[in-house]
Amino acid sequence: MLTPIAPMPDPVTTRPIVLTNAQLPGLSGFHTTVLQQGVIVQQWPGPVIPNPDLGDALVIDLQGDWLSLGGVDLQINGALGLAFPDLTVQDSERLTEIGRLLWSQGVDGFLPTIVTTRVDKIHGALAAIAAWMVKAPVPETAQILGVHLEGPFLNPDRRGAHPAAYLQPLTLETVKTVLGDYAAIVKVITLAPELDPTGTVIPYLRSQGITVSLGHSQATAAQARTAFTQGASMVTHAFNAMPGLHHREPGLLGAALTTPGVACGVIADGQHVCSTMLDLLLRMTAASYPERDTLFLVSDALAPLGLPDGTYPWDQRQIRVEQGTARLPCHTLAGTTLPLLAGVENLVAGGLCDPARAIALATQSPRSAIGLATWRLGQPASLLRWHQDPHGQLHWQRLAPMASSSPANPSAAHN
């Protein structure tokens, strides 16, 4: 977690909170935002305007700092030693502990990501998550917005750290088997589109309200464009587990970057993608910011998130975590243990991105990618304040915990 910068207001106050002289990602100038019991009720450009309706409001001058929603992580594989594919219905309290950890790391909502494993284990994890989701929201806890199935419909040649033994053919029959009775809680599924020559799977998944993301794939640009035409709208961890950009075969990523509306996730931990390619990716998607940025950050964090560096079990194998990077014994990059907002800090510290867009990449863009509201009046919101110190480093803190419902707005329609 980045260093807190100032005392927070009383989280249980019923007084209106007026946050003034704040910069908002995607908007120019300074703005004033009014919260009432954790809900955005008013907003206008400029300083505080005398208003008798505000009564004894608590006015906080943000002195030019940025204000944002909390982060949303669309790809996170576990935390506190628990890998989400290992979940059982007895793990409810552990899920809550993970939600509290993520909240402390600035995350409002997340998609527990279930990687390739046995179908019975997938169903067990889905059952555990479904049972947790129907419970009343716990204060100061990141909420589960649905599930991301990363596999098992992946190209064996691009499986990365996914075990080959559990990969499945991409057919309607196998998709329905894997989803079982849990299609309603699956928000995103990552698949390799070239594995389905019939062209029937993506339209079926979209009919179930599931966002289709292309990844772990050898797809050509033509195959990817066909998948986008069929309804796929995302790319899983751009550059990783897919062919690189080539001047005669741009591949999956080249097709995504030239198809309007396709959102690309990226891991900005400094290991998965080098700074030059991150710079290129940011430049290629800049035209879509701020209206609907087609780039968003993910953590891709593994089960040791929140634990110190060391060696940890990972399915039937082990991973070694050093300085937040996790690798298999064969040195295959397995993931990271850095939190989502560390990616924001990395982009700014590396001079790759201005603070406003970097903040939006972890807060607004992920919401847009799965059809959630990004910033509107009437929205429950637990806001983050961001400050850039004289050395160019970003620091954040929470300002207003939610009062009544999930700040990530999980009831919004699918994308």
Closest CA to 144 of 95, 205, 79, 94: 95
Per-position DSSP letters for 170-201, written without gaps between them: --HHHHHHHHTT-GGGEEEEEE-GGG-TTS-H
368-389, pLDDT tens digit by residue? 999 998 888 888 888 999 999 9
Q: Which residue among the candidates 61, 300, 315, 354 is catalytic per the annotation?
A: 300
pLDDT band at 4 (very low <50, low <70, confident <90, very high): very low
Q: How far is CA 56 from CA 7, 46, 171, in A?
A: 19, 20, 61
Cβ–Cβ under 8 Å, residues 404 and 381: no
In the annotation, is 300 catalytic? yes
49-79, pLDDT tens digit by residue? 777 677 788 899 999 999 999 999 999 999 9
Structure tokens at 89: 């219905």
Structure tokens at 377: 């009046």
Average pLDDT score, the chain = 90
Global confidence as pTM:
0.92
Torsion sign across C-alpha atoms 267, 273, 278, 280: negative
Burial of 173 (C-beta count, 10 Å sphere; 0-12/13-18/19+)? exposed
399-411, pLDDT tens digit by residue? 854 443 343 443 3
Task: Name, in order, each residue with C-beta under 8 angstroms of 328's C-beta and a sequence gap of 6 or more.
Answer: 161, 314, 317, 318, 319, 334
pLDDT at 291: 87
pLDDT band at 285 (very low <50, low <70, confident <90, very high): very high
pLDDT at 328: 84
323-368, pLDDT tens digit by residue? 888 888 888 888 889 999 999 999 999 999 999 999 999 999 999 9
Q: For 268, how many CA atoms within 13 A lie in the half-sphere containing its CB?
A: 30
Whether the per-residue pLDDT at 413 is higher than 90: the answer is no
Cα three-residue angle 352-371-238, rounded to 5 degrees: 40
Whether the per-residue pLDDT at 322 is higher than 50: the answer is yes
